[in-house]
Structure 1
Amino acid sequence: MGNINNSGPFSYKEIEPLTDKANGPLLVRKNDTKEFFVKKCYPLYLADNLTTLQQIKQTNLPKVQEVLIEGDQLYLYEEFIHGKTLTEVISSSEVIETETILKMTLSLLDALIALHDKGLVHRDVKPGNIMLTNDGMLKLIDFDAVRVFDGAKDTDTIQLGTVGFASPEQFGFAESDARSDLYSVGVVINICSVKEYPKNKLSSDPFLREIILKATRFDPKDRYQSAVEMKTVVREKWKQWVNETHHNEDRLVLDNRENKNEKTDMDEPNNVKTPIRSFLRKYVPGFRTDQPWKMTLAIIYYVLMLMGLPGMVYEATSMTEKLLRTIEGFTIFVLPVLLLTNFMNFHEKIPLLHSKKLILRGLGYGLLAVGWLIFFVLYLLVTNGGAKR
């Protein structure tokens, strides 16, 4: 039955139930590391599948910490994900942009590629089982219906799945396989686009419609034959969207110039990503999340910095001193912001800064602060030493 740990239930402290369901998921904390996990109960026949799942390390799947047998019950301990389900996002959004849908689909397919490579079929891909974390990561969760593709059966032994999202074969027409999950992905895309099942209202979005149609064909032979194949098509559609959007932006800029003989930031519609807005969102801390309170704080900080830094430089009497004042101002005002606000997403390249453990992440930020302080002290020692000479 795989490598099941039978001796670990007392290493976790139960905090609170996460739903009102009997025997539903529980929030727990590991006693030694103080990390939070979700404890879920599964039927014993899923033991082999869950131990296989534990071996998969993929960013769009929750990390499985342990699979334990407690009495006659099977429990899975997986990472606790901070965020919202896609269901919540859809219900709270009037429109989800095409680009966002395509990017989410690519992440969802990456999760399925990892599962399918191990022979696992999720069988319950739906918005309620897709989490969007607070830092923008997509996670495919809940493995109550997971199974291994057999290939020698006419139908699934246990028919599971959510009506509307589950493929026809999950209700007795054939044995479900990887293409069954892709059917569900097609339905999810349509729900994100028009908030309806494809059979009720098919999305008219030119970048999504063909993907949805092919993914949700009744006969699995007419669908995408693998998540890799579907991902290739989705990525191509995303590239087409980017190219066409940029072309339209250029045309809008030209139209504005022709109509007003000049171009200002106020001429651009709010829903058009101008080059200036794109630059701010990509490179300028405080503007990359589009959150008003962060942008307000950033504007105040930058105004104060621009008021103080030029004054420091202006007071210097020689070019050498002006250069040193500029470096000093950059070190004091700019460098800490770049280090602590994940400039150009460099935190993802440093293990401590993207660790799931708060202690390690705090240590990472502490080392950054110490590194900045050491650099600043060395700079002062060097410049003061030079000045004395």
Structure 2
Amino acid sequence: MENINSEPALFYKEINPLTDKINGPMLVQKIDTKELFVKKCYPLYLEEHLTTLKTIKHAHLPKIQECIIQDGKLWLYEEFVQGKTLTEVIQSSERLETEKIVTIAMAVLEALGALHKKGLVHRDVKPGNIMITNEETVKLIDFDAVRTVDGEKESDTVQLGTMGFASPEQFGFAESDERSDLYSLGVVMNICSVKEYPKKHLTEDLILRGIIKKATKLEPTERYQTALEMHLALRQQLSKQRTAAKQNKRQISTSKKRPVNITMNARPFTNRWGTNTYVNQVVTRGRRVLDSISLFFKKFIPGFRTEKIWKRVVALFFYTMLFVSIVGNVFGQPTRSLKISEFVDYLFIFIIPMLLFTNFLDYQRKLPLFSSDNKRYRYIGYGVLFLFWVVITKAGLELNSYIYKQIN
């Protein structure tokens, strides 16, 4: 861990307090560079989390300059973000355009993805903690409620969050994790759209409704599981909206330019390749298919569910070798019955255990032992899974051998 001391505090000059609270945020200026920062007091138990936060450099997160312990208090010096909070933007507008809501949400998801990658959960995503800078850049701020994901606790040690935006698990029902932040962002999006909580009035916007509904499910397993998954869903919806808008614009433009055809029975000649509309539709559909395939791999296929390149390379190599081995050995058999017998052997010895023990299609979330927060129960679950594989493999191979003998 980084050595934290009070010496760097000497290089900053206090300008003025930003609130009337005691030990509230203070605007300070670094003496040598003249840069402005916000000096804010945090609880000492957040020292390790904020030190980790300092290592994250991201366009949608404020720059953390210093973590200093001084007079028994922890002070964080972070970038002074000039602009408006999303709360102020919402209050000053009758309604935000759908595309702007999606753009803001995607930026917040990118910030959350950076936090989650380091094992941190923000736990207080709300309009007041989302800044829109003077340059129209979105920044997720305020880390009073940040914590790390433990994975072994039944609930959070410190229950924090803003009522209405915080997920159910943040109030003692379970341990909060990445999905808790996605729940809060879903609420924020609904507030942006109709200025109401989704429980009271879910937006009717066709682009946003389905995404908000899924993000704010009470059961975490039914929500988006990662910031990347929700980001892809928003990107697809945004792409649909832009494509539809372009098509409408072209149709209006074409109808204005099209001459009146006074021949009642003549059918005007149209060449669908003569305009870009058809090509754009094909390209858009292709992108949707690729996005769907990418999302499927990242969500379900072992080895591709993380952002680590080396794991994906190893997984791709393993799947390729397994496929080549199966095809080579199965189709190398001289008779049809031997081909079937060889494939069944591969099925029980290699394919089934791979599917079982790598949690293919995330099926373990639906099993009681694996969905438990207790590590001991999960170990028992793997033991039961191993016995299950041994039993079905023995039975399957014996049946395969018996059938082969009967045929031949």
TM-score (norm 1): 0.65
Query: Quick one: distance in 2 between partners of 1:98 and 1:259?
Result: 35
Q: Give the Å deviation of 1:23.
A: 1.4
Query: Quick one: distance in 2 between partners of 1:101 and 1:108?
Result: 11
What residue in structure 1 maps to residue 149 of structure 2? 149
What residue in structure 1 maps to residue 100 of structure 2? 100
1:205-244 equivalence runs, <5 A: 205-244=205-244
What residue in structure 2 maps to residue 180 of structure 1? 180
Pairing 1:47–2:16 present: no
Cα deviation code 1:155-203 (max 9, x no counterpart):
0000000000000000011000000000001001101111110011101
Larger Rg, first or second structure (1 or 2): 2
1:1-389 equivalence runs, <5 A: 2-257=2-257
Query: Quick one: distance in 1 between partners of 2:100 and 2:255?
Result: 27
Counting matched residue pairs gives 261
Q: Give the Å deviation of 1:249.
A: 1.5
Residue identity in the other structure for 1:234: L
Q: Give the Å deviation of 1:87.
A: 0.2
- In structure 2, the CA distance between the partners of 1:75 and 1:259, relative to structure 1 (3 Å rule), is farther
Query: Quick one: distance in 2 between partners of 1:146 and 1:5?
Result: 22
| Contact 2:2/2:51, CA 8 A, preserved across alignment | yes
Cα deviation code 1:1-26 (max 9, x no counterpart):
54324311121111011112221111
TM-score (norm 2): 0.62
Query: Quick one: distance in 1 between partners of 2:138 and 2:226?
Result: 20
What residue in structure 2 maps to residue 383 of structure 1? none
Query: Quick one: distance in 2 between partners of 1:122 and 1:216?
Result: 16
Residue identity in the other structure for 1:129: N
**Structure 1 runs, 4 residues or longer, greater than 6 Å off:** 258-261
Task: Look up the SS of the partner of 2:7 in the other structure.
Answer: coil
Query: Quick one: distance in 1 between partners of 2:186 and 2:75?
Result: 31
What residue in structure 1 maps to residue 375 of structure 2? none
Residue identity in the other structure for 2:140: L
Q: Give the Å deviation of 1:255.
A: 4.3
Residue identity in the other structure for 2:186: G
| Contact 1:2/1:47, CA 8 A, preserved across alignment | no
Task: Look up the SS of the partner of 2:202 in the other structure.
Answer: coil
Residue identity in the other structure for 1:182: L
Residue identity in the other structure for 1:111: A
Q: Matched residues, percent identical? A: 61
Residue identity in the other structure for 2:166: A
Query: Quick one: distance in 1 between partners of 2:125 and 2:47?
Result: 20
Cα deviation code 1:348-385 (max 9, x no counterpart):
xxxxxxxxxxxxxxxxxxxxxxxxxxxxxxxxxxxxxx
What residue in structure 1 maps to residue 299 of structure 2? none
Residue identity in the other structure for 2:111: A
- In structure 2, the CA distance between the partners of 1:255 and 1:149, relative to structure 1 (3 Å rule), is same
| Contact 2:5/2:70, CA 8 A, preserved across alignment | no
Q: Give the Å deviation of 1:53.
A: 0.2
Cα deviation code 1:49-85 (max 9, x no counterpart):
0000000000000000000001100000011111000
Task: Look up the SS of the partner of 1:144 in the other structure.
Answer: coil
What residue in structure 2 maps to residue 265 of structure 1? none
| Contact 1:5/1:66, CA 8 A, preserved across alignment | no
Query: Quick one: distance in 2 between partners of 1:221 and 1:48?
Result: 29
Query: Quick one: distance in 2 between partners of 1:5 and 1:244?
Result: 56
| Contact 1:60/1:140, CA 8 A, preserved across alignment | yes
Where in structure 1 are there 5+ consecutive unaligned residues? 262-389
Indicate the RMSD between aligned Cα atoms, in angstroms: 1.6
Cα deviation code 1:230-284 (max 9, x no counterpart):
11111111111110111121223234446999xxxxxxxxxxxxxxxxxxxxxxx
What residue in structure 2 maps to residue 324 of structure 1? none
Residue identity in the other structure for 1:136: E
- In structure 2, the CA distance between the partners of 1:6 and 1:207, relative to structure 1 (3 Å rule), is same
What residue in structure 1 maps to residue 340 of structure 2? none
Task: Look up the SS of the partner of 1:65 in the other structure.
Answer: strand
- In structure 2, the CA distance between the partners of 1:220 and 1:26, relative to structure 1 (3 Å rule), is same
Task: Look up the SS of the partner of 1:67 in the other structure.
Answer: strand
Task: Look up the SS of the partner of 1:250 in the other structure.
Answer: helix
Higher mean alpha-carbon deviation, 51-60 vs 6-15, is at 6-15
Q: Give the Å deviation of 1:34.
A: 1.0
| Contact 1:39/1:78, CA 8 A, preserved across alignment | yes
Query: Quick one: distance in 2 between partners of 1:229 and 1:211?
Result: 11
Where in structure 2 are there 5+ consecutive unaligned residues? 262-408
- In structure 2, the CA distance between the partners of 1:251 and 1:73, relative to structure 1 (3 Å rule), is same
Task: Look up the SS of the partner of 1:14 in the other structure.
Answer: strand
Query: Quick one: distance in 1 between partners of 2:6 and 2:260?
Result: 74
